[in-house]
Amino acid sequence: AQRVTQPEKLLSVFKGAPVELKCNYSYSGSPELFWYVQYSRQRLQLLLRHISRESIKGFTADLNKGETSFHLKKPFAQEEDSAMYYCALGGGSQGNLIFGKGTKLSVKP
């Protein structure tokens, strides 16, 4: 079955500390992985997708097929990074996304 697991409901770090939001997936085919972010009172928006291998706002994520993971990392967290982060799995013929339950990142000053 297709599934996305984000084990941490809440992650709290201090400004300037490294941050890693974990995401594991279960998928039999060729996965497409995404990270979406939802800042307070804003709509869900795409942060990263694995296929583009880009860095957005200092965040990176590497798809590890052996570990079936797509962890989101940033070396130095900023207060403005505080938000809900959702890992999502695509790649099925239907085109819809399968989301994890989300991790709330709180960056303290």
Q: Applying CB under 8 A, which residues contact another protein? A: 4, 32, 34, 36, 42-46, 49, 51, 86, 90-91, 93-102
Cα distance between residue 63 and residue 59, in whole Å? 14
Query: Considering the complex, what minimum distance in angstroms separates the CB of residue 24 from another protein?
Result: 14
CB nearer to another protein: give 12 or 45: 45
CB nearer to another protein: give 15 or 56: 56
CB nearer to another protein: give 4 or 19: 4
CB nearer to another protein: give 13 or 44: 44
The residues pairing with 83 across neighbouring beta strands, listed in sequence order, are 105
Closest CA to 9 of 98, 81, 106: 106
Query: Considering the complex, what minimum distance in angstroms separates the CB of residue 101 from another protein?
Result: 5
Cα distance between residue 16 and residue 74, in whole Å? 10
Contacts of 95 (CB under 8 A, 6+ apart): none
Query: Considering the complex, what minimum distance in angstroms separates the CB of residue 102 from another protein?
Result: 7
Structure tokens at 46: 């795409």
